[in-house]
């Protein structure tokens, strides 16, 4: 395996570990500090730019692997080769398919980890809001029956006025 595919494999292993940490059912009091520690480096703009560049290179390698697998399939189907050449072609096909799967799953897992982190971050934020006093204050703000009836009457009058205005505008046309 060449150097850049070894680096892609290292990125894949890192993503698997990161996803496992995010997906484990950890209590909230431990999950929040872990999540904050994990996201801290990724909030730096230079790291974000370098991650995007690395993902771009992985995407290029993915497209290159697709192209090579396609060309090897054409070569395999077009010629009637002796067994020794056919084995060599099948060996190259195996290596290119390995590269294709390696780069493809790395790209896919990158997006899965980003989405999972977003969901975990949102879950923690909603738990914090739920445990605070804000929702309790919002629940206690209930309108009485008379206030709701007055509001409904105002809305009905507004609807009636708008219907009349629409009718007069359509008559003018």
One domain, residues 64 and 46: yes
One domain, residues 89 and 160: no
Question: Can you give the pLDDT at residue 137?
Answer: 56
Domain range enclosing 162:
145-173
One domain, residues 114 and 169: no
Cα(156)–Cα(106) distance, integer angstroms: 57
One domain, residues 72 and 113: yes
One domain, residues 109 and 126: yes
One domain, residues 7 and 88: yes
Question: Can you give the pLDDT at residue 29?
Answer: 85
One domain, residues 75 and 103: yes
One domain, residues 112 and 172: no
The percent of the chain in helix, strand and coil, each rounded to the nearest 5, is 90, 0, 10
Residue whose C-alpha is closest to residue 114's, from 57, 30, 65, 52:
52
Question: Can you give the pLDDT at residue 135?
Answer: 53
* Ranges under pLDDT 50 in the chain: none
In this predicted model, what pLDDT tens digit does every residue of 35-82 receive, in sequence order?
Answer: 888 888 888 899 889 999 999 999 999 999 999 999 998 888 876 666
Cα(72)–Cα(29) distance, integer angstroms: 53
Q: Is 25 helix (H, G, I), strand (E, B) or coil?
A: coil
* Number of domains comprising the chain: 2
One domain, residues 73 and 23: yes
pTM of the model: 0.67
φ, ψ of residue 45 to 5 degrees: the values are -65, -35
One domain, residues 156 and 135: no
């Amino acid at each position: 395996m060449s150097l850049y595919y070894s680096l892609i494999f290292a990125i894949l292993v890192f993503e698997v570990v990161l996803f496992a940490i995010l997906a484990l059912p950890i209590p909230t009091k431990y999950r929040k500090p872990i999540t904050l520690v994990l996201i801290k480096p990724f909030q730096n703009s230079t790291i974000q730019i370098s991650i995007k560049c690395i993902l771009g290179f992985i995407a290029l390698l993915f497209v290159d692997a697709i192209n090579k697998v396609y060309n090897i399939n054409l070569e395999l189907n077009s010629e009637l080769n002796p067994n020794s050449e056919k084995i060599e072609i099948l060996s190259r096909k195996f290596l290119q398919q390995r590269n294709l799967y390696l780069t493809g799953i790395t790209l896919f897992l990158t997006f899965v980890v980003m989405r999972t982190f977003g969901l975990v971050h949102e879950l923690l934020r909603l738990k914090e809001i739920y445990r605070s006093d804000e929702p309790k204050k919002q629940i206690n703000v209930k309108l009485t029956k008379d206030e709701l009836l007055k509001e409904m009457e105002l809305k009905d009058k507004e609807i009636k006025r708008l219907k009349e205005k629409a009718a007069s505008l359509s008559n003018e046309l």
